[in-house]
Structure 1
Amino acid sequence: MDHKISVGIVGGAGYTAGELLRILLFHPYVQITHIQSGSYDGKLVTEVHKDLIGETNIRFSDIEMDHVDTIFLCMGHGKSKEYMEKTDIPSHVKIIDLSHDYRLKAKGNDFVYGLPELNRETIAQAQHIANPGCFATGIQLALLPLANAQLLKDDIHIQAITGSTGAGQAPSRTSHFSWRNNNLSVYKAFSHQHLGEIGQSITQLQPDFNHDINFIPLRGNHTRGIFVSAYTQYSGSLEAAQACYKSYYASHPFVHVVEENPDLKQVVNTNKALVYLEVHQGKLMILTCTDNLLKGASGQAVQNLNILYGLDEFTGLHLKPSVF
């Protein structure tokens, strides 16, 4: 590129904004010009994101719309739509929203659903992108190759566990260390908000799919990472399933179909997704591992930024897992 992409971040104090900053500060084609936070206006970003001490001297400030090319919205669900309605955003400014507000198709919603492994070509032409949810990303990566091959013929059963950072930075009883440590619990069984976008993506590839998606989410006692286990009826061989998945993900650099049972530490601090398959008595089991703050949020948002501007998807995202 002959110039850097000027970036603003709205809602700059939370976990996803912190990870976005950590990546974009070292992105060779990005200049962060504005980071907005209603609670910390005028203060140094490093007063909130202390892991960035020594990396930046930027302060929280309002966004000057004429000086940005792209805005990332890192606010809570419902806040992005409110911001879009009350803010005069020039037509040239691209938006990547990390909330739930624009993920579901609706009349008047021009946001493209930003899962590159599903919509890469459409993302490249988009003005507005709705970044997928963290659980939704891991689950869809487990199911999209089957939907693409028209092989989802029965109900789908999913159990997935997420780290405490998935609940956001605002403290609550179930994200407090003394409750979360050495503990495990189910929440929003069969009713999680990410089910809508999962079903939407499956029917995009397999329009006649009309079976149940049974999802049991769990709160884990770790800080970051999502481990998905899913299964559904399947009549083929393991070799055929592996070939199906490897073919689907052959052109997608962050998804790796592995032949050894994976673990979360292989992906934490990266934008990778690992996918593992087993066949058991007429059922296909699919495991996926992702980092909820990166491939499930900020890393995927940067991946979408790269696609928007015709950059290599890996730009700024060569990250090593924290395995020790």
Structure 2
Amino acid sequence: MLNVGILGATGYAGEELVRLLANHKEVKIKKIVSKAYEGKKYSHSYRNFVGLNDYICEGLNWNTITKGIDLLFSALPYGVLMENLTEDMMRDIKIIDIGVDYRFMNKDEYSKFYGKEHKSMELTEQFVYGLSEWNIEKIKKAKYLANPGCYATAMQLALLPLIKENIIGEDIIVDGKCGLSGGGRTLTLGTHFVEGNESIKAYKINNHPHSQEVKKGVEFFLDKKIKLTFTPHIIPMQRGMLITVYTELIKDIEYDNVKEIYEKYYRDKQFIQILDKGIYVESKWVKNSNLCHINFEINKENNKLIIIAAIDNLIKGAAGQAIQNMNIMNGYDESTGLSYVPTCI
């Protein structure tokens, strides 16, 4: 059995890690860490666990954090891991960071997007970027892994095949919509029920870190550059994410040709589903799952290719992809603990 610990276990992504790993046949949860619930039963934080386990939350003690575990998941807020992680702590365990601290960013970019100095940037190059369907060979050999962001996952899965096959131009526009859980569990004015209900709002226009992550991802995987305009929105639902991507075709191409491209890259990828023509993606179809649904239309009049993709921001966009990567890193079947039908309603 793989003994795992989970930092930030009482956040939304942390809860999904606990829920999914509790049913994983190859895993034993040995350590659940939460500053807010130290010494309390995990079910005091999430009542859906009442009577199902006896997990007790530990405090965040960096001196003992790796004791007795083989793999550490971090679902901590940005900045916490990078301020405390050391090479001594990393020596005998594997790490999967669901947070932002070790993704594609240099020191200046991190300061720009997160407003603080990165304290352990030298460790970043030891972390493998965990876009599962596109980096599987490196993930197999990885000891430390940076899990992609939710929007960055959806955008790259939708765009990378098309960019690689040179059928779209470099100017790309993405409209994104995500449920309120994307803002985390800590209550803020923007996620307060009265503020978020019956309303939709844009945020971080031209300044969302996942834009930078996608551009860096395209360079990393394809050695190409794009010009990305991304506008994310918060919408009044609990979970789920849908993006609409607007691109310009640079080749005369038909619907079936585009579908063949997607199938070329995703035919054997069990979590990526390309829907039939005319079936437009809905976020509820992937709810509570590690799936990504993709479809598209061609606008012949304007020579545009419009792509729609949906994921569950807490599963494929966070905990589910992290477990998918854990499976790959440890030689398990990719789908272990993740093969179930979405809830839909």
TM-score with structure 2 length normalisation?
0.89
1:206 aligns with 2:222: yes
Distance apart, 1:208 and its partner CA: 3.5
Partner of 2:147: 131
Q: 1:62-120 CA distances to partner (integer Å, 9 max, x unpaired)?
A: 555241000000100111212314x8415230000011110115573211111111111
Partner of 1:295: 316
1:186-197 aligned within 5 A: 186-197=202-213
Distance apart, 1:237 and its partner CA: 1.4
Q: 1:159-215 CA distances to partner (integer Å, 9 max, x unpaired)?
A: 010000000000011111111111100001122111111011112233242x41010
Unpaired segments ≥5 residues, structure 1: none
Amino acid at match of 1:300: Q
1:8-87 aligned within 5 A: 8-61=5-58, 65-85=66-86
What SS does structure 2 have at the residue aligned with 1:154? strand
Q: Which one is further off, 180-189 or 312-321?
A: 312-321
> Structure 1: how far apart are the matches of 2:79 and 2:5?
19
Partner of 2:258: 241
- 1:65–1:230 distance in 2 versus 1, CA, 3 Å: same
Instruction: Please report the RMSD computed on the Cα atoms of aligned residues, expressed in angstroms.
Output: 1.5
> Structure 2: how far apart are the matches of 1:46 and 1:97?
24
1:267 aligns with 2:286: yes
1:216 aligns with 2:217: no
Q: How many residue pairs were aligned? A: 319
1:257 aligns with 2:274: yes
Q: How high is the sequence identity, in percent, across the aligned residues?
A: 33
Amino acid at match of 2:83: E
Whether contact under 8 Å (2:66, 2:72) holds in the other structure is no
TM-score with structure 1 length normalisation?
0.95
Whether contact under 8 Å (2:9, 2:17) holds in the other structure is no
Distance apart, 1:32 and its partner CA: 0.2
Distance apart, 1:318 and its partner CA: 1.8
> Structure 2: how far apart are the matches of 1:27 and 1:187?
36
- 1:203–1:90 distance in 2 versus 1, CA, 3 Å: closer
Partner of 1:229: 244
> Structure 2: how far apart are the matches of 1:171 and 1:95?
28
What SS does structure 2 have at the residue aligned with 1:314? coil
Whether contact under 8 Å (2:218, 2:224) holds in the other structure is no
Q: Following superposition, which runs of at least 4 residues in structure 1 exceed 4 angstroms of deviation?
A: none
Whether contact under 8 Å (2:34, 2:58) holds in the other structure is yes
Whether contact under 8 Å (1:66, 1:90) holds in the other structure is no
> Structure 1: how far apart are the matches of 2:187 and 2:209?
20
